[in-house]
Each structure stands twice: as C-alpha cells, then as structure tokens.
Amino acid sequence: MHFYSKIYKEWMEKTQQEKIRKILKISKPYGKILDVGSGFGVLEKFIKAIAVDINEEYLKIVPSKHKIKASGDALPFKSNSFDFVFCIDTIHLLKSLKEIKRVLKRHGKLVVSIFCFAQNIEEKAEWLENIVKNSEMKIKHKFLVKTEKEWDFVIIAEKV
C-alpha cells in the first residue's frame, strides 16, 4: 500500500465509518447494491455490496468477497442490475453518471456524495445537483453529513 493510502486509511477510517452510518440511516438501502469507488470498503463493513474500484491496492483491503477492478465510467454489469448504487466521494473522478444510471433498475436509487467544507458547500452542492439533474434522475432527498473532520453533501436520486 502506498504511504499516502496508509496514512489516509488510518487517519480517516473512523470519520468514514461515522459518515457511512449516517448515510445508511437516511438512505435505507435494500436489494442488490453496488459501491462505485469503494476505496478501502468502509461501506462493505456495514452492508453487503459489490465493491468496484480502479485501485487494486484498495480492493485487497475491501472486506467484501464481491469486488471488481473497474472504472465507474465503464461498469462491467448488465443494464438494470442494481436496486441501489452508492458513489461516496467519487463523483468528481467520473465523467458522468451515465454508467451508474445504466446499471440501476427502474426506480433504483443512487446515493451520491461530495466532500465539502463551510467555505464551499453552496458551490459543491450546486455542482452535484447539476450533475444529477443532467443525468435525468429525480432528486428525492438532499442532506448534509457533518463529522469532526469533514462534511459531505449527499443526494439520493431515483432512476425514472
């Protein structure tokens, strides 16, 4: 594991777990779940999901048996395969939500977030809302998750 990755994992793991707990409490995921940009697999410590990340080093740590090296811009799944897709703090690395929308079932839910701070919350929230609206998904819920070390602006959207 790269030095930066190790430091990030150790320093941020508790923060990430706290954030994921809060997001799960509100989003209430069900069915077949995909985690795009799973990183170290914090989400997979709480729920059963298929983890996808482009970084093999991260995937080695993911606790899920179901993990695949892939980009969120080229998902290796059939269309309409998932009830829920999580994209936590990864959206800024993707070209669009096109692939995520493709693999979501009709009425499936996307939980997407972007990290932010008090100084840029409005700008980041507007940016994320525009990305979701441009993907022609319906925004169902928006909220802010605050932890001691970072904030996340979160959107739950539905494929219609």
Contacts 24+ apart (CB under 8 A), 144-147: 145/19, 145/22, 145/23, 145/113, 147/15, 147/18, 147/19
**Token pair in block for residue 64:** 């899920």
CATH 3.40.50.150 at 13-158, yes or no? yes
Look up residue 118 and give its DSSP letter.
Answer: T
What count of other Cβ atoms lies within 10 Å of the Cβ of residue 72? 23
According to DSSP, the β-strands at 104-116 and 82-88 are parallel
Contact 20, 42 (CB under 8 A): yes
What count of other Cβ atoms lies within 10 Å of the Cβ of residue 26? 12
pLDDT digit string (tens) for 130-144?
Answer: 999 999 999 999 999
pLDDT digit string (tens) for 90-115?
Answer: 999 999 999 999 999 999 999 999 99
Look up residue 2 and give its DSSP letter.
Answer: -
pLDDT digit string (tens) for 57-86?
Answer: 999 999 888 999 999 999 999 999 999 999
**For the chain, how big is the Rg over CA atoms in Å?**
15
Interacting residues of 94 by C-beta distance below 8 A, sequence separation 6+:
36, 37, 72, 73, 87, 100
Average predicted confidence (pLDDT) for the chain: 93
